Structure 1
Amino acid sequence: MARGVLSFPLTAFHDDGTLDPDGFRAHAAGQLAAGPGALFPACGTGEFFSLDEDEYRTVVTVAVEEAARGAGARAGDAVPVVAGTGYGWAQAARFARIAEEAGADALLVLPHYLVDAPQDGLAAQLEQLAARTRLPLIAYQRGQVAYGVDALRRIARVPGVIGLKDGHSDLDRLQRLTLAAPEGFLFFNGAATAEIQARAYAAVGVPAYSSAVHAFAPEIAGAFRTALGEGDHAAVDALLRGFYVPFVELRDRAPGYAVSLVKAAARLRGRRVGPVRAPLTDPAPADLAALKALLTTGLDLVGASL
């Protein structure tokens, strides 16, 4: 998974809000064609929180089918499919069983619902889920979930827990966690727009990251990843100044734009992904116009077209 950008595909809906499996299939195929390190369906960008169990089954099944058809699969090296799961451990286990039956390779455990919890409880949540699935688990610390060193050591001893995705961007804490983890434990940069902090994360030993931009502009995400990997700081800075920083500023204008802007940008590029579901809302007209201009600028920077 560290070989390429981690793709978090958008779940496609019809205009009336119902699931659009064919639209999602086309979108997932396009994401896989760009060569990501892994495909993460039905996670935050994929609006996991709005899917019922039947819709979740469809999304994960389609993702697994498309990964099996990809070029990497034909060469004997299929892109891993890591499905989202979450809420309390009991409900997370229900989604885990569905993902297991659908053929997913692993699970990303999204932050639990609503309540704050002590460190022992955070660890116990993963222990309970791990006992109920054969799939490897990647914990996701964000929002009210933040592991300390002792809890990290505890979850790293749980059979099946293979890594941690970090969305807090507290690099002091993260460095302590990476140093406390056993050899081979995986860490991922899961900041909202991870490219902004990719160099800082890499400096503490976390080079792998998820990219929301990959969901609508894999050309931009791929160019950034290449420049970063080659140490081309001028190209990295140009993409940050010209595209990523303005995108974050636009994203911060309204709650939920971390998903709805991404989906709107995919629609601007002709992708059949549809609207977001409530409680998210699609971008305001002025913000949509700004997004279109910014997308054109970003694509121009990498020599691609809208």
Structure 2
Amino acid sequence: MAFGQPRIEYKTTAQMRTMHQAGLILDDALGQVLAAASPGVTTGELDAVFAAALKAAGATSNFLGYHGYPGTICTSMNEEVVHGIPGSRVLAAGDVLSVDGGAVVDGWHSDSARTTIVGGPGAEDPADRRLSDITEESMWRGIAAMATGKFVGDIGCAIDDYVSAQPGKRLGILEDYVGHGIGTEMHMAPDVLNYRSKHRGPKLRPGLCLAIEPMLVRGGLETATLADDWTVVTTDRARAAHWEHSVAVHDGGIWVLTAADGGAARLAPLGVTPVPLG
């Protein structure tokens, strides 16, 4: 470790198993939130669904109270990129909704985000569906790079290469908000860039757990933070999408901690077989 660089926390297999428990609870809680996300429902009601799911499972929220954050999830809609605060805002058909949440079990954290289009296929703008689908697949490309790459920087290269190769209008990859290490805290070293950079980062080695979370926009990359000091929006009001999973590198390979199948279904087409924690 170079002098002055943040220390990276490497986990034991037992610790990663606990993180997987937190990840499975989070996976279920986010599923409940998205199932409840329909026209006429408020973002505050979605927050209550998530909070109840964590309580029932015996987990706690790592978002609630984090630097004063008032919710258990972030609900970012349309031009809101991240950190949208749940409250009285009512969902409407066609809204692009990104839900970001986390759970803690025995002091070990999980973090994951999903994007949905309220009202289902009949209500969605094809451009919004493309935005969400490319963002999600770019995340999986980054996760696959954890299995095949040598350095953390390989993740951002894989994300950038996939997004850049898509036909049609180029989507923007936000550079001000990146992925991160995760473990005994929600946000830890190292940063995980979502774009190609000359900085290769630390080696991908067993015990490293990362939250990979690309955020893509249909328009420009300029953002601003609203008066609530949390909600980040695109200044041109272009819509955004956000997908995230927490992933572990272990002696046998990689395992997606926040997916019930460890990421098997989405990684198989990419030639990667996730290996359960031993």
Judge same fold: TM > 0.5, yes or no: no
Answer 1 or 2: which has greater helix percent. 1
Greater relative contact order: 1 or 2 (C-alpha under 8 angstroms, separation 6 or more)? 2
Give the structure-1-normalised TM-score: 0.28
Larger radius of gyration: 1
Give 1 or 2: higher strand fraction. 2
